[in-house]
With several copies, the nearest count.
Chain A
Amino acid sequence: MQARERIVRRAAREVRAGMTVNLGIGLPTGIAAYLEAGMNVCLHSENGVAGVGPAVATERADRNLIDAGGAYVSTLPGASFFDSAVSFALVRGGRLDLALLGAMQVSASGDLANWIIPGKFTPGVGGGMELAQKSRRVVALMTHCDKGGRPKILQECTLPLTAPRCVDRVITDMAVIDIRGGTMLLREIAEGVSVQEVVDATDAPLTIDADAISTF
């Protein structure tokens, strides 16, 4: 299984019936395809849609209906459209149960960096800060290490932050790690990965209860 698929499959299990959920642009968007069919979930898109349905092929698309990533989408029965102020009121007002967000780096205390690499990648943050800061639960998704094999879970982020102390859980291709009160707790390891491999690939202290670690 590819790293991305492994992450996305595991992340899909974070979504529970009844939730209002935002799937961030990039990696998290892929989660929609792995949700249980008919699950009572309300997907929110920050451009003003609640009740986003499956993506639609361009030739059958409604030209006025995209998600925040620019993909043509459909709506489910019970969907609604609203303006950008209402859309972020929903986020900042605490009505978003879960945001699954792509990450560049996550720190031991749950700081998230996912929007800028100064001098290299400077597209602007979009709605990322609100989603990170105000969703009731934030799950960050990323490959455990960068292409050079360097850890992306760090004692402190080296990239500018999207929001400090906002990540509740990190899901990577190697592990699921919870962050509580500044401590990182290793919860699950990917099939075929050892605890030691996760520790070696992580640049922050992990609390490990070997008996409680499951495999995904």
Chain B
Amino acid sequence: MLDKRTSIEEAIAQITDGASIMVGGFGVPGTPFLLLEELVRQGQKRLTIIKNDANESGMGVDLLVANGQVARLVVSHLGLNPHAIERMNAGDITVEFCAQGILAERIRAAGAGLPAVLTDIGIDTLLADGKPVIEFEGQRCLVEKALSADFALIHAERADPFGNHTYAASARNFSPLMAMAAQTVIVEAEQLVAEGEIAPDAVHTPGPFVDAVVHLEALTDAYGVVRRGNEVVNRAG
């Protein structure tokens, strides 16, 4: 199969100003911190970031926010990140909130080539503002539009050069959906293994969805850090 291994610099250099980027992860697990740090280093601007949350203040997506690279966030919540809430309230970034499972379905719909899905989740709430409502078989439904992106940044536990990969535990979350929904899918992998080492039955995201595989030589503290009040504990590696 095609060898998609790429350097982290080249992978991220494909991203242009104004791009929309899906970022895997729910809190720390699954967040591709090193891809995000390279994006901070390269400095692309006016980005739209689609992620469940904006990480905690001072890490992951928040580094992009702090660096003024983010124009817009699409998230289910910012509960872990008072800094992002501050920036939102100051009008520095715009934030679109989605119900978490509907965010997942909108991303999945894009990956599945469906223009939209119908749902009654959030109908008649603030989150339905501006969304089309139709009647379907006697039930009022929101029409939730597919959410695609130019790029997806994904963290894998293991990947092969073709892009087949697996996720560890709760690090899976939005990643398999995003890996189907973006134009260009960049996967960072803790372990790079030969083709065939991931049993076909064990693959979480199949190689054909992936465009670039970046092997991480080592993890940084971010992958194992969870802040609890003033306590910072390193669980990386």
Indicate if A touches B (C-beta under 8 A): yes
B58 at the interface (CB under 8 A from A): no
Residues from chain A with Cβ under 8 Å of B104 in the complex: 83-85, 87-88
What 1/0 mask marks residues of chain A from 38 to 56 whose CB sits below 8 Å from any chain B CB? 0011101111111100000
Q: When chains A and B are docked, how far (Å) is the Cα of A133 from the Cα of B119?
A: 12
Residues from chain B with Cβ under 8 Å of A45 in the complex: 170
Q: When chains A and B are docked, how far (Å) is the Cα of A162 from the Cα of B122?
A: 7
**Which range contains the number of B residues in contact with the other chain?**
35 or more
- Among the 9-residue stretches A72-80, A99-107, A137-145, A199-207, the one with 4 or more Cβ atoms under 8 Å from chain B is A72-80
Contact of A125 (CB < 8 Å), options: B88, B127, B172? B127
Residues from chain A with Cβ under 8 Å of B201 in the complex: 81
B226 at the interface (CB under 8 A from A): yes
Q: Are B175 and A79 in contact (CB under 8 A)?
A: no
Q: Are B1 and A83 in contact (CB under 8 A)?
A: no
A160 at the interface (CB under 8 A from B): yes
Residues from chain B with Cβ under 8 Å of A95 in the complex: 180, 208-209
Given A70-B226, A125-B127 in contact, is the A42-B100 Cβ separation under 8 Å?
Answer: no
Q: Are B207 and A93 in contact (CB under 8 A)?
A: no
What 1/0 mask marks residues of chain A from 153 to 166 whose CB sits below 8 Å from any chain B CB? 00000001111100
Given A50-B208, A85-B177, A90-B206 in contact, is the A127-B100 Cβ separation under 8 Å?
Answer: yes
A98 at the interface (CB under 8 A from B): no
Q: Are A89 and B236 in contact (CB under 8 A)?
A: no
Contact of A160 (CB < 8 Å), options: B126, B161, B171, B195? B126
Q: When chains A and B are docked, how far (Å) is the Cα of A192 from the Cα of B180?
A: 46
Residues from chain A with Cβ under 8 Å of B90 in the complex: none
Q: When chains A and B are docked, how far (Å) is the Cα of A40 from the Cα of B30?
A: 29
Q: Are B206 and A127 in contact (CB under 8 A)?
A: no
Q: Are B120 and A133 in contact (CB under 8 A)?
A: yes
A172 at the interface (CB under 8 A from B): no
For the complex, count residues of A whose C-beta is within 8 A of B: 65
B200 at the interface (CB under 8 A from A): yes
A-B Cβ contacts below 8 A, count: 220
A2 at the interface (CB under 8 A from B): no
B235 nearest CB across to chain A (Å):
4
Given A70-B27, A78-B207, A126-B76 in contact, is the A91-B101 Cβ separation under 8 Å?
Answer: yes
Residues from chain A with Cβ under 8 Å of B203 in the complex: 80-82
A18 at the interface (CB under 8 A from B): yes
A131 nearest CB across to chain B (Å):
9
A61 at the interface (CB under 8 A from B): yes
Q: When chains A and B are docked, how far (Å) is the Cα of A108 from the Cα of B80?
A: 32
- Among the 9-residue stretches B12-20, B40-48, B108-116, the one with 4 or more Cβ atoms under 8 Å from chain A is B108-116
B100 nearest CB across to chain A (Å):
4
Given A78-B196, A124-B97 in contact, is the A65-B170 Cβ separation under 8 Å?
Answer: yes
Q: Are A130 and B126 in contact (CB under 8 A)?
A: no
Q: What are the 8 tightest A-B residue pairs by CB atom distance, in nearest-first order?
A: A88-B101, A92-B113, A77-B196, A124-B77, A78-B195, A80-B203, A80-B206, A123-B79
Residues of A within 8 A of B (CB): 17-18, 20, 40-42, 44-51, 58-59, 61-68, 70, 72, 75-96, 116, 122-130, 133-134, 160-164
Q: Please, could you name 28 A-B residue pairs with CB atoms under 8 Å apart, sorted by A? A: A17-B2, A44-B208, A48-B170, A51-B1, A59-B233, A63-B236, A67-B170, A77-B195, A78-B1, A79-B196, A83-B174, A83-B175, A84-B101, A84-B177, A87-B173, A88-B102, A88-B112, A90-B206, A91-B101, A93-B111, A95-B180, A124-B77, A124-B79, A125-B97, A125-B100, A127-B101, A129-B99, A161-B124
Not counting A89-B108, A127-B76, A130-B102, a sample of 17 additional A-B residue pairs whose C-beta atoms are within 8 angstroms of each other reads A42-B1, A45-B170, A50-B207, A64-B169, A66-B26, A80-B207, A81-B201, A83-B175, A84-B52, A86-B206, A88-B100, A88-B112, A93-B111, A95-B180, A126-B76, A129-B121, A163-B125
